[in-house]
Amino acid sequence: MNIFTDNEAFRAIVESSIDAVVIINREGDIVFWNSAAELMFGYSETDVLGKYVHDILPTHDQREKADESFKKFQEVGTGPLVGKILQVKGLKKNGDIIDVQLSFNTVDIHGELFAYGFLRDISDMVARQENLEEQASIDGLTHTLNRRAFLEQSEKAFSFAKRHDSTLSVLMLDLDFFKEINDSFGHDAGDVALELFANKISSMLREEDLFGRIGGEEFCIVLPNSTVENSAIVAEKIRKEIEVQTISTAEKTLKISVSIGLSSLEEADSSIIEMQKRADSALYEAKRTGRNKVVVG
């Protein structure tokens, strides 16, 4: 006899919950699974009764934590998850991973301990929050990181490089003659040039590289785990790719180019700002001496 599934009054109350309700015995096996849980995960009650609860956790890390928690639960009747509200990942029957808000507690029934959890699918809320965070960190025109987000993330990259004694390089980039494009052909042409410029460069970078719009036509790239020699090669590839790009206006077809200043991490550097200043000085030298070139600072 299952004291949960066979108790009609209990079942009627729990089945009215909009939250998934899962009850687990001291061994971590599922002994109750309401209709909301079935709807959330896609598993029927028959599918899961008697199964170990970590089968619905998608990551190895979460399964290890569940194992630790239930080991503690077996020993002393409580555990690190008891009484807390957590955000975890859940694994649906079809393989989809969802964001779940979870609260667990324990109950003693006739001398037998059980853990019961209330679970709620918060995937939509998490997606909206992530979208808002992305909108707050992305430049609307070029879809690169905006200045604030770029500086925050680049400072983290700097701290990581210093802590692990790894290489790091900074590129400062400026779209040549951008003011003349705006003044002669209008801001729409300038916007097209910036979008083209940013899209081409984004496609050339690694996933771990940071690319941000600092202001106007000025951009910055942070290259983790990249020596000054390798970064100079990257910069030159970018320069060559940009110099063959064109934009069309009603009056004519325009070629664009980029000037780039490069700096690499030095032992005396205490912040990413110092690296950016050296790269900015190198960028100034590139523009002063003819533009469309890479200068190492």
Q: What are phi and psi of 258, to 5 degrees?
A: -135, 140
Token pair for 51: 């199964």
Q: Which of 217, 236, 243, 266 is labelled catalytic?
A: 217
CB-based contact 226:167 (threshold 8 Å): yes
Q: What are phi and psi of 221, to 5 degrees?
A: -125, 135
Measured CA to CA, the distance from residue 205 to residue 296 in angstroms comes to: 19
Token pair for 281: 């000085």
Q: Is 267 a catalytic residue?
A: no
Q: What are phi and psi of 172, to 5 degrees?
A: -105, 130
Looking at this protein, which amino acid is placed at residue 20? A
Measured CA to CA, the distance from residue 240 to residue 255 in angstroms comes to: 12
Beta-sheet pairing, 20-25 with 112-121 = antiparallel
Residues known to be catalytic: 217
